[in-house]
Structure formats: structure tokens, C-alpha cells
Structure 1
Amino acid sequence: MKSLNHNLIYTLVMMKFFRFYLVLAAVLLPLCGWGQEKLFDKYSDMKNVKSVYISKPMLEMGPEYFTNIYLGSSTKKLNSVRLLSTSDSVVCKKLFKDIRSLLKPSDYKLLMKQKGTSTSSEFYVSKYVDIIEELIMLTYKEDKFLRFIYLEGKMTEKDVKDILLYQGTSDNVIH
């Protein structure tokens, strides 16, 4: 009888832990993109910063509306696109530091890092199983120029490959 009570108590305690972690995950999951939203809120109205926000309804209108960034068929899989760009050296330093603090290795996987003669680029993803929920593209030149592009949605690896392959062409430079 003692063993049965012990097993029952153990099962009830484990169910409470499971329920707690399930609720915690449900509460924290929507906050995944929260850091980027704070970043955009902080910099989007700042002097010498160009900012773009594209909502899901606008994305659903089709990729032909976006000439500065190739999104292709993945537009229907995205919830939003955000872009920050600056050539102000003071803002560049602050923005770069804030971006670095967001890109924790436990949350984001570095896909590629490229150092060219004039600019450097980095691409990061945040995945849940086989779905890429966030794609971050960062292009910079020391303290002279910085471009931060954040795509949020439910993309496949093929979607991300298509987007990244096209971004490097000279016809598709975001100013």
C-alpha cells in the first residue's frame, strides 16, 4: 500500500511539473521575437536610421512588391519583415552592440560569416525542429554602415537557401 501511495504521489508531482513547464513554454514561445521588436522600437524612429516594416497582409500581396529584397514564394510563409539601416557611425556602434547582445548562440545558429574587402555579412537562423522561424541577415562595414534584416515566419531550409542565394547579386542591394 505504501508503494502504491508513493507511486501515486510521484505521478501527481511529475504531472504538476509537466503542466508547469508546458504553461511556461506556452507563455515564453511568443516572446521569441520580442527582442527584435524592442530593437526596432528603439531604432526605427531614430535620426539617420532607415527602417522598414512589412506586415503579413502586405507580404501576402505577393513578392512583386518588393524590389529591394528577394523573398520569392516564401512571402506567404512569413509573418513580418523588418529592416534597419544606417550610415551614422555613432548609431552603427550602438546598433551593432545591441544586435550582438540578441544573437545568443543558444538561440541562433550562425549559417555564414563573410568578410569582404568593403563589407562583411553574417546570416543567422532560429529553428524549431525543421522549421526556420527567424532569419537574420546582417551586413556591415566597421562603423560606417550597418544593415539588419529580420524575417519571421515558418520557412523551410529551401526557402532560406533561395533567399540567401539571391541576396548576394549586385542588382539586389538594399540601400
Structure 2
Amino acid sequence: MMKFFRFYLVLAAVLLPLCGWGQEKLFDKYSDMKNVKSVYISKPMLEMGPEYFTNIYLGSSTKKLNSVRLLSTSDSVVCKKLFKDIRSLLKPSDYKLLMKQKGTSTSSEFYVSKYVDIIEELIMLTYKEDKFLRFIYLEGKMTEKDVKDILLYQGTSDNVIH
């Protein structure tokens, strides 16, 4: 019994650093690309307070986040590649689709990765065919209420990231 416990403990220790690795790789690939806007906000910056972030509402959840990453592009070639890479990241993963919305001008999808009752990752994807794509990745230890507050505010027309 103790051998199984050690095995799973070692396995967890090996796999834990890989959590979020796909998003980091995606961000690294596109963040310096031409015609791509990118933002990375670290935990120390998040701890300074939500008043520093005007493009995305984080509210009191800033204290619970480790990082925020954002990629945005209007380049049709980059949109296609980035969309394909995001799809391949989400397909085999443990992400659960929270919501999918198709509007007349844009579509949105929201995904979470959670451990028991704690949401560790929130992905927000907004796109318009090959014309526009915005990818937001929040990583930390959020409650369902934190995520609800973030998602409710993101839907307002006054809060659009371009």
C-alpha cells in the first residue's frame, strides 16, 4: 500500500509543473509575433490591485490569481493558426466548456479547469471567423463566485478588449 502511495506522490510531483504548460507554450509562440497584441500580468502586479486593469474586470479575484495572459489579433493568417492551436490545446485536456455563444458579429467560449471546488484555470475565447481573435487565460485559485463575477462583467459592451 505504501508503494502505491509513493508512486502516486512521485507522479503528482512530476506532473504538477506541467499544469498550465500548454498555455505558456502557446503564449510564448504568439506573444512576440507581428500583428499580435499580448499582455502578461504576474502575481506581484495583480497584488497591486484591480484598478490597474481597465481592459478586463478581475475585481477582488486579483488576490486569488497567479497570472493573467492575453493574446489578441486581427490578422486573418494569425487568427487561423492561433485558433487551430487553441483548439488542439483544449481538445485532449481536462477543460470543461462552461458556455458557448454565437452572436451575429462574434462568438465566445468559456472553459474552466477545476480541482474539487477550486477553479484553477479560466479560458475566455472570443472570435469572429478569421477576422478577430482574443484569448484570455487566468490561472490561480478561484471560486465559482469569482468566475461568475468575471464572466458577467466580460459580457458588457463597455468592456471590450481590442
Give TM-score scaled by structure 1 length.
Answer: 0.90
Q: What CA distance in whole angstroms lies between the structure 1 residues aligned with 2:59 and 2:35? A: 30
How much has 1:55 moved relative to structure 2?
Answer: 0.4
1:45-79 Cα distance to aligned partner (Å, 9 max, x none)? 00000000000000000000000000000000000
Higher helix share: 1
How much has 1:157 moved relative to structure 2?
Answer: 0.2
Q: What CA distance in whole angstroms lies between the structure 2 residues aligned with 1:139 and 1:29? A: 29
CA RMSD of aligned residues (A): 0.9
1:89-140 Cα distance to aligned partner (Å, 9 max, x none)? 1111110011011113651000000000000000000000000000000000
Q: What CA distance in whole angstroms lies between the structure 1 residues aligned with 2:92 and 2:123? A: 13
How much has 1:18 moved relative to structure 2?
Answer: 2.4
Residue correspondences, number: 162
Aligned to 2:87: 100
Aligned to 2:108: 121
1:164 aligned to which of 142, 151, 161: 151
Q: What CA distance in whole angstroms lies between the structure 1 residues aligned with 2:61 and 2:39? A: 18
How much has 1:15 moved relative to structure 2?
Answer: 2.2
Distance 1:39 1:106, change over 3 A: closer
Structure 1 spans left out of the alignment, 5+ residues:
1-13
Q: What CA distance in whole angstroms lies between the structure 2 residues aligned with 1:75 and 1:65? A: 11
| Secondary structure, aligned partner of 2:114 | strand
Q: What CA distance in whole angstroms lies between the structure 1 residues aligned with 2:13 and 2:23? A: 19
Show structure 1 runs of 4+ deviating over 6 A.
none
2:54 is equivalent to residue 83 of structure 1: no
Distance 1:43 1:171, change over 3 A: same
2:5 is equivalent to residue 18 of structure 1: yes
How much has 1:22 moved relative to structure 2?
Answer: 1.4
Q: What CA distance in whole angstroms lies between the structure 2 residues aligned with 1:48 and 1:72? A: 29
Tell which structure's C-alpha radius of gyration is larger.
1
Q: What CA distance in whole angstroms lies between the structure 1 residues aligned with 2:135 and 2:18? A: 20
